[in-house]
Structure 1
Amino acid sequence: MPAAPRGATWRRQIRSAGGQVIRRLGMLPAGTPDGHGEDAALLGTSWPYEVLVYFADTAEALYQIEQWYDTFRALHAEHPLVVVTRDSRTAAAIRRDSGLDVRTVAHYTTLDDVLRRSPTKLALYVNHNPENFTCLRFGNLVHASLMHGDSDKLVTVSNQTKAYDFSFVAGRAAVERMARFSTLYDAEARCVPVGRPQLDEQLRLREQTPRGPLPTVLYAPTWEGGQPSAEYGSLVSHGLAVVRALVTSGRYRVVYRPHPLTGVRDAAYGEADAAVRHYLAEAPVPAEGPGHATDTAGDVGPAFAGADLLVCDVSGVAMDWLATGEPIVVTRPTGQVTIARSPLLELAPALTVDDLDDVLALVDRELGDDPTRAERLRLREHYLGDTSPGAATRRFVEACERLMAVRDREVARVNAELGR
């Protein structure tokens, strides 16, 4: 191959130097890993971890892994676990907030070098970032998708799920959803129901939280989605009207919990978010108990613990709320969004834009009569499995152990085929 022209080499060197300066100064576009890895220190070494959690995102997506911290700590107590990132800022935040071991690896060759010497057997993923393929290349690991929520959004049956050896799901509802909507996918063989381990701590917290003098309604809309076909969010179409009706009635305390990504794709959602926050900040404090509030904490547990009814969109929040056993109202989007038929969406009262004038009467009825309670409690097991304290975490750890055993058998089989 002929040598590159001197001018081309010079331009590459300039671009490389410029990229290094941009990274050092923190001037990277949002969502771009800074590439400040520990590669030099890791090359030629091994590590003791049996489980690798691969998280290629930057700080904007931390909410996707934060909900797994308690569960990962429980797994780490039985099997050493490390979180691998591609961004040093993300690594610092995870290390600080989780107490887990974290390594930043900027280059595929470094990960390949370390894993060749290490006892790592299982790789876990909390999203479908395209960069996951950097780790999915390794055939001597078992790869399992965890995701960061279970919902009746059609995005939960994305074809990307097929990239992983197994998919951890909450319950039978998720297996049936995958079997129904994902073509050429053996859901029964590849879906592993483990419940929602995140709910273990949330349910304990709920049991310890006293009820307020006024019922609390939690409004927790989803974001606008990555594309119009996934725009399940109600904030623009429903948000202020719902909040205003409940507040002005004087019968309810309202807590608003926006999705962390609200407004990143559509500025109208950011404006609607600001309007709801401003309204609640200026609203009169109820005669009894705490005032209305906007909750932006990383952990949804306290918001769930203090709420008596949830108003939400078609999202993972609806699934998690089922564990509380309390009433739920699910909005319907106004755009051209496909809504899958599901037992929960067929049961829960639907709040369309045309129903907004009746939202107060709907909430009154659900909290007063709760007409769907018995069926909703039956659905809880269908969607989440056993929700007794600690059950889901135990199922998760046991499922990880089974997959590591599967990996060992497969590696032994391949080695035997190769005569090793």
Structure 2
Amino acid sequence: MPATPRGATFRRRVRSAGGRIIRRFGLLPAGTPDGRGEDAALLGTSWPYEVLVYFADTPEALYQLEQWYEALRALDAAHPVVVVTRDSRTAAAVRRDSGLAVRTVAHYTTLDDVLGRSTTRLALYVNHNPENFTCLRFGSMVHASLMHGDSDKVVTVSNQTKAYDFSFVAGQAAVERMARFSTLYDAHARCVPVGRPQLDAQLRLRAETRRGPVPTVLYAPTWEGGQPSAEYGTVASHGLRLVRTLVESGRYRVLYRPHPLTGVRDAAYGDADAAIREFLDGAEAPAGGSPHATDTHRDVGPAFAAADLLVCDVSGVAMDWLATGAPIVVTRPAGAAVIAASPLLDLAPALPVAGLAGALDLVDRELREDPGRDERLRLREHYLGDTAPGAATRRFVTACEDLMTVRDREVARIGRELSR
């Protein structure tokens, strides 16, 4: 029997009330924004922000945004910045930790209304969340992808990059990577090298830190990736065996820094991560050295400051480590992930699963002899640009200002076209 209008209205009200209860008490699937926005208060208003950072994710992905806080604060000092979220829990964390203005907008119509009344000129994005298209629709702003690290992963040349007007990249290596492996994309015109502003604070901390007499090996693997073609992680294939070998040698302190998303897609990664943590908790410290440890600090800076050598996967951690000038070993994944040739991967010693039996000898040699040091230091500028203190932050702010000038010119041009 057809539903009566009154019955249909009742069911809509029930669904709406149920949705409010689910959002209110956080009973949502992982990764789903709670949609508890400030829309009612924002409608009919304008805001003074020149720069909008759009972040549609839930709190577990905040590591992508957190690394940009210091650079965004520097930008905010000259050009007011607002972080726009779609999740009230995310907004609370950003408001607490960033020192930036934050607004939670659940509905596209609210963003349309506010931006129509405001003079926001630049939108920035730290990931490729499909929800970014909610904000990318606005032609009144220039849109730039920041991402949350530079690496030789195939995902760094994702076709999604084409959605943005420009992409901020770390250095010339990223431009060349995009030019080589992207189709129908003018990397030299649309990629803007700005360095890695995050390294300014990390290098300061490393310069101030005294490392002990027992060398520290930092093992910082990535997660399993969102799909098998991006499975660069080695926690399950290498992790425990590698860590056990280094610890039982008695020659090194091991610092393990897992990726925050380890195990979210593949339970084997979560199990391996738990096994490594448990082993390190019970391991005896090397004679004269600090205890072995698992580092889950939000900022990678303290781990970088403490380490003498890095073992990592094909990931953004490898690029950032270049700034330290210290030795690096890069694992090779056991799965089907695509690994393209690159200057760093050609230079850095590789550690495949089949090479784990020789891992200790490899670490010994790299710390004792460091045969790739001179070439690695030359690569530092190629990948990261100028790593002098503060240089990358200045380049970032200047690049944002340049894009706002581009926006003003384009908006004026379109205005002239419309007035014809």
| TM-score tier (shorter) | over 0.9
Aligned to 1:93: 93
Aligned to 2:145: 145
Query: C-alpha offsets along residues 124-182 of structure 1, whole Å, 9 cap, x if unaligned?
Result: 00000000000000001000000000000000000000000000000000000001111
**Separation in 1 of the partners of 2:209 and 2:289?**
14
Q: How many Å apart are 1:419 and its aligned residue?
A: 1.1
**Residues 1:19 and 2:4 are matched in the alignment:** no
| Paired letter, 2:351 | L
Q: How many Å apart are 1:4 and its aligned residue?
A: 7.9
| Paired letter, 2:231 | E
| Paired letter, 1:47 | W
Aligned to 2:318: 318
Aligned to 1:276: 276
**Separation in 2 of the partners of 1:219 and 1:128?**
27
Aligned to 1:330: 330
SS for the counterpart of 2:106 is: coil
| Paired letter, 2:290 | P
**Separation in 2 of the partners of 1:337 and 1:33?**
30
**Separation in 1 of the partners of 2:22 and 2:76?**
36
**Separation in 2 of the partners of 1:10 and 1:296?**
48
**Separation in 2 of the partners of 1:88 and 1:400?**
27
SS for the counterpart of 1:29 is: coil
**Separation in 1 of the partners of 2:175 and 2:414?**
29
Q: How many Å apart are 1:285 and its aligned residue?
A: 1.6
* TM alignment of 1:276-295, pairs within 5 A: 276-295=276-295
* TM alignment of 1:229-308, pairs within 5 A: 229-308=229-308
Aligned to 1:373: 373
SS for the counterpart of 2:62 is: helix
Aligned to 1:188: 188
Query: C-alpha offsets along residues 26-73 of structure 1, whole Å, 9 cap, x if unaligned?
Result: 111111111111111111111110000000000010000000000000
| Paired letter, 1:257 | R
SS for the counterpart of 1:217 is: strand
Specify every segment of 5 or more residues in structure 2 that has no aligned partner in the other structure, as ranges.
none
Q: How many Å apart are 1:390 and its aligned residue?
A: 0.3
| Paired letter, 1:207 | A
**Separation in 1 of the partners of 2:25 and 2:371?**
58
**Separation in 2 of the partners of 1:5 and 1:169?**
55
RMSD, aligned CA: 1.2
Q: How many Å apart are 1:286 and its aligned residue?
A: 1.8
Query: C-alpha offsets along residues 215-240 of structure 1, whole Å, 9 cap, x if unaligned?
Result: 10000000000011110000011001
Q: Alignment identity in percent?
A: 81
| Paired letter, 2:168 | F
Q: How many Å apart are 1:288 and its aligned residue?
A: 1.1
* TM alignment of 1:117-128, pairs within 5 A: 117-128=117-128
Aligned to 2:77: 77
Aligned to 2:167: 167
Q: How many Å apart are 1:289 and its aligned residue?
A: 2.8
Query: C-alpha offsets along residues 248-300 of structure 1, whole Å, 9 cap, x if unaligned?
Result: 11111100000000000000000000000000000002221310000000000
**Separation in 2 of the partners of 1:292 and 1:25?**
39
SS for the counterpart of 1:386 is: coil
SS for the counterpart of 1:53 is: strand
**Separation in 2 of the partners of 1:156 and 1:8?**
47
TM-score (norm 1): 0.98
SS for the counterpart of 1:143 is: strand
Aligned to 1:228: 228
Structure 1 window deviating more from structure 2 (204-213 vs 7-16): it is 7-16
Aligned to 2:50: 50
Aligned to 2:389: 389
Q: How many Å apart are 1:5 and its aligned residue?
A: 4.7
**Separation in 2 of the partners of 1:111 and 1:336?**
41
Query: C-alpha offsets along residues 9-38 of structure 1, whole Å, 9 cap, x if unaligned?
Result: 333222222111111121111111111111
**Separation in 2 of the partners of 1:207 and 1:267?**
38
TM-score (norm 2): 0.98
Q: How many residues align?
A: 419
**Separation in 1 of the partners of 2:33 and 2:338?**
33
Query: C-alpha offsets along residues 320-365 of structure 1, whole Å, 9 cap, x if unaligned?
Result: 0000010000000111111011000010000011110100000000
**Separation in 1 of the partners of 2:336 and 2:7?**
51
**Separation in 1 of the partners of 2:320 and 2:4?**
57
Q: How many Å apart are 1:6 and its aligned residue?
A: 4.3
**Separation in 1 of the partners of 2:340 and 2:314?**
10
**Separation in 2 of the partners of 1:397 and 1:336?**
39
**Separation in 1 of the partners of 2:4 and 2:66?**
46
**Residues 1:351 and 2:361 are matched in the alignment:** no
| Paired letter, 2:74 | A
Aligned to 1:110: 110
Aligned to 2:211: 211
| Paired letter, 2:368 | G
Structure 1 window deviating more from structure 2 (11-20 vs 340-349): it is 11-20
| Paired letter, 1:355 | G
**Separation in 2 of the partners of 1:395 and 1:6?**
60
SS for the counterpart of 1:205 is: helix
* TM alignment of 1:62-73, pairs within 5 A: 62-73=62-73
| Paired letter, 1:66 | E
SS for the counterpart of 2:77 is: helix
